[in-house]
Amino acid sequence: MIQNRTIEILVGAFMAAGLVAFFFLAMQVSNLSASNNGEGYEVTARFDNIGSLKVRSPVTMAGVRIGRVSEIGFDRATYEALVKMRIEGQYNVIPEDSFAKIFTAGLLGEQYIGLDPGGSEKYLQAGSEISLTQSALVLEEIIGQFLFSKAEEGGTLEKAND
């Protein structure tokens, strides 16, 4: 039989190791350090098409993540997508006329919102709306347009040849 004290020490070490492992998972593996939920302020933007944007997709400015998409809705009156994003409180000097675009990270990557700063003296606040937006690029639409313009080109060429 091992001494009582040794057992206590070993159990203590075990529990400490388990807690360290959990701490490691929380801090090093997951995004705890980067996510401070509930802080910051919410702004809205309307898009014609949000592609595959999802709740919790990043909102970036100059490539730096400054917030996340918090809610995606649909406006039944205007048939637009209503995107709410929560921007972290420290970024409180974003001009009101900033331009919100939906980008894709890489060829197959996730979609995110990129903000281009405008020149206004007024800044975005809780509840304000970004009016300048650009929809997501849907690959099929682009290919469709490309084919369409190609066909048109071909048509004009034929006419020129006539």
Partner 1 sequence: MLNALAQLGRVGIGMLERLGRGHLLLLGILRGLPDLLPRPGLLIKQIYSVGVLSILIISVSGLFVGMVLGLQGYYILSQFGAEQTLGVMVAASLVRELGPVVAALLFAGRAGSALTAEIGLMKATEQLSGLEMMAVDPIRRVLTPRFFAGFISMPLLAALFSALGVLGGYFVGVGLLGVDDGAFWAQMQAKIDLYEDVFNGVIKSVVFGLVCSWIALFQGFDALPTSEGVSRATTRTVVHSSLAVLGLDFILTALMFGD
DSSP letter string over 96-146?
TT-EEEEEESTTT--EEEEEE----SSB--TT-EE-EEEPPPPHHHHHHHH
Q: How far is the CB of 119 from partner 1 (least distance, A)?
A: 31
The contact pattern for partner 1, residues 41-80, with x = CB under 8 A and - = no contact, is ---------------x------------------------
Does position 8 interact with partner 1 (CB under 8 A)? The reply is: yes
Question: How far apart are the C-alpha atoms of 70 and 55, rounded to whole Å?
Answer: 5
Span of 21-29, 87-95, 115-123, 136-144 interacting with partner 1 by CB under 8 A: 21-29
CA distance 43 to 130: 7
148 contacts partner 1 (rule: CB under 8 A): no
- Exposed/middle/buried for residue 137 (C-beta within 10 Å: 0-12, 13-18, 19+): middle
Smallest separation (angstroms) from partner 1 to the CB of 66: 15
Instruction: Assign 3 to helix, strand or coil.
Output: coil
Q: Please count the residues of this chain forming the interface with partner 1, following the rule CB under 8 A.
A: 26
The residue ranges that bind partner 1 (CB under 8 A) are 4, 7-8, 10-11, 13-15, 17-22, 24-26, 28-35, 56
